[in-house]
Chain A
Amino acid sequence: MPTSDQPTNGGPAGDRAERVLPLKGLKAQARIVWALLLREIITRFGRRNIGFLWLFVEPAMFVIVITAIWTATHDLHRSQIPIAAFTLTGYTSMLMWRNTPSRCIGALSSNQSLLYHRQVTMLDIYLARIILEFAGVTTSFMVLGLLMWMGGWLEPPENVLQVIGGWGLLAWFGMALALTLGPLSERYPAVQKLWSPIAILLFILSGTSFLLDTFPPTVRYWLLWLPMTSGLEYLREGFFGSQFKAHYDLEYMCTATMVLMLFGLTQVRRVALNETIIA
């Protein structure tokens, strides 16, 4: 056992001796994730031009284009649902679970050397990337929502708390998925190749561009196997629930996400072990 009476000679914070204390350890980890996050912002967006504003301009442009297309073809659909709210919730929430894994897949090779700093762990690196992605998408969601509301295309949410809750659930799912696919991609390179086609498939199936109510119960049943479908329906109910009938199973979504999250964390541990030699 380490002799704890030996002082660490004023060494930097985050030593093993300090990490044992949960609160201090948490603080140290928060500091490291923050450091990684700032590093990521500068390396991805640079200090020039609009810099970190790209963080939400990128997803915002995507959503604006999709919304414009839907709005232009609105008359063809002849639907009663508010189209701006429908696309805004659909596409931003899709970005929540599509972009986070993309950022975490293959993150080891470009960040491996950071692990020489003992306090930096693979989990910190994943968390920094996930949080940054959340920040970008959430900002786009809020800014676009506000702009559309001011422009008169969007009614404010009917139940703000439910919107926040739905958003949180989707974020949690996105995080669990990223923590699973990121580490798996290091062991199975196929994950990297397959993720974009699978993401497209999931995007089609997850209710981004439809409401579950338009389908017969059997189809609905199968579509609800995807956890993010529940999250999205819940979010949309919070936004414009009085105008359609939402279908979701939050209990299932939470269980599935929890299982995925725990599995992901075990995989993150395996990456730290680094058994597969790359060089």
Chain B
Amino acid sequence: MIRLENVSKVYHTAQGPREIFRDVNLTVEKGEHVGILGRNGAGKSTLVRLISGAERPTSGRIVRDMSISWPIAFSGGFHQRLSGKDNLRFICRVYGVDFRPRLEFVERFSELGPYINEPVGVYSSGMRAKLAFAISMVVDFDCYLIDEVMAVGDERFREKCELELFQRRRDRAMIIISHSSRYLKQHCNRFVILEDGRLEEYEDADTARMAYKRLIKREAKMEVKRQHEAEKAKKKARLAMMEREAALPIST
């Protein structure tokens, strides 16, 4: 089980404190697949950082008695100057697992060939993503944290990833964070929307999708309104400037 208890998170920005979450509660039990929908800027990444333990909440607490993965296919932890192999070696050391059998798996799965011995810095983004996914699969977790839709490599490789994660590890808990409701419907059995620093759970994928759509529509409307007002203000400023210029004495 992973449980967020009254979790709040405040960042201190240049414009003063900014509250990202207020009293968020969520419990994920063994084997549940929880999908979390959120627009850009709703705080999805912060939630990932909190759940994975990269950051601590400002108040409240997060109880974990399942082991939880780092965000699947996350390549940010790679060191550019280390080879794919050395990056894997580091992960194996951190999690205290055997390196040899996992190297074999990663070599086979990532299809990097001899590049596994080259520094990650020279990889293409596709190669990096493949390596990141393969390395994500080498440690066994009770709960997998999946941030955003995995768009790794070509169609065939994507299918391979789906098989490895969603078929082979179906019995594990998963927390999938995305802005695509279709993707979540495919893989989840619980649906939560992240908005305004709160989590709200919906009965099924379709009600969640509808609510999410409404949110996006509302946001789009507000955006149009904002733009309209900005334009109006600009026009006004221009007019005022013209008036001022007209009032100035002509100097020659």
- Residues in B lying within 8 Å of A, measured CB to CB: 1, 10-13, 18, 30, 49, 52-56, 58, 63-68, 70-71, 74, 76-77, 79, 81-82, 86, 89-91, 93-97, 139-142
Contact B64 A2 (CB under 8 A): yes
State whether A11 and B140 are in contact (beta carbons under 8 Å apart), knowing that A16-B65, A38-B93 are contacts in the complex.
Answer: yes
CB–CB B55/A3 < 8 A: no
Closest B-chain residue to A116, C-beta based?
B70
Shortest CB-to-CB span from A137 to chain B, Å, is 23
A8 within 8 A of B: yes
Chain B residue contacts of A38, Cβ below 8 A: 89-90, 93
Q: List 22 A-B contacts (CB under 8 A).
A: A2-B63, A6-B1, A9-B142, A17-B65, A31-B94, A35-B94, A38-B89, A39-B90, A112-B54, A114-B77, A116-B49, A116-B53, A116-B77, A117-B70, A117-B94, A118-B52, A118-B53, A118-B70, A119-B95, A275-B10, A275-B11, A276-B12
Distance in Å: Cβ of B223 to nearest Cβ of chain A = 22
* Residue in B1, B63, B91, B94 with the greatest tally of chain A CB atoms within 10 Å: B94
Evaluate contact between B82 and A277: CB separation under 8 angstroms: no
Would A274 and B97 count as touching, CB distance under 8 A?
no
With contacts A35-B90, A116-B77, A277-B11 known, is A9 near B54, CB below 8 A? no
Is B66 a contact partner of A11 (Cβ separation < 8 A)? yes
Residues B56 and A16 in contact, CB atoms below 8 Å apart: no
Residues of A within 8 A of B142 (CB): 8-9, 11
State A39–B96 Cα separation when bound (angstroms).
15
Q: Nearest Cβ in chain B — how far from A260, in angstroms?
A: 24
Given contacts A8-B65, A9-B66, A277-B11, list 8 more A-B pairs with CB under 8 A. A2-B1, A4-B65, A6-B30, A13-B95, A42-B81, A115-B55, A116-B74, A277-B13
A112-128 interface bits toward B, Cβ cutoff 8 Å, 1 = contact, 0 = none: 11111111100000000
> How would residues 32 to 70 of chain A score, 1 for a CB under 8 Å from any chain B CB and 0 otherwise?
101100110011001000000000000000000000000
Interface assignment of A12: CB less than 8 Å from any CB of chain B: yes
Residues of A within 8 A of B (CB): 1-4, 6, 8-17, 28, 31-32, 34-35, 38-39, 42-43, 46, 112-120, 272-277
- State whether A3 touches B1 (Cβ < 8 A): yes
Closest chain-A Cβ to B182's Cβ sits at a distance in Å of: 27
A1 to B63, CA, bound (A): 8
Pick the contact of B67: A4, A11, A274 (CB < 8 A).
A11
Interface of B is mostly: loop
Please report the C-alpha to C-alpha distance between residue A8 and residue B172 in the assembled complex, in whole angstroms: 12
Q: Please name all residues of chain B whose beta carbon is closer than 8 Å to the beta carbon of A116 when the two chains form the complex.
A: 49, 52-54, 70-71, 74, 76-77
Q: A276-B12, A277-B12 are in contact. Are A113 and B64 (CB under 8 A)?
A: no
**A274 cross-chain contacts in B, Cβ below 8 A:** 55-56
**Closest beta carbon of chain B to A110's beta carbon, Å:** 9
The contact of B81 among A11, A31, A46, A113, by CB within 8 Å, is: A46
Contact between A273 and B58 (Cβ–Cβ < 8 Å)?
A: yes
A42 to B94, CA, bound (A): 16
Looking across the interface, which residue of chain A has its beta carbon closest to that of B14?
A277
Are B67 and A12 touching (Cβ within 8 A)? yes
Check B79 against A39 for contact (C-beta < 8 Å): yes
Q: Is the CB of A117 within 8 A of B77?
A: yes
CB-CB nearest in chain B for A27: B96
The answer to whether A35 and B93 have CB atoms under 8 Å apart is yes
Q: Let me know if B94 and A275 touch, CB within 8 A.
A: no
What's the nearest-Cβ distance from chain B to residue A270, in Å? Answer: 10
Q: Is the CB of A43 within 8 A of B79?
A: yes
Rounded to whole Å, the gap between the CB of B144 and the closest CB of chain A is 12
A15–B13 CB distance below 8 A? no
Q: Compute how far the CA of A276 lies from the CA of B11 in the bound complex, rounded to whole angstroms.
A: 6
Residue of B with least CB distance to A1: B63
Query: Bound state CA distance, A4 and B95, in angstroms?
Result: 21
| Complex-state Cα separation, A169 to B142, whole angstroms | 44
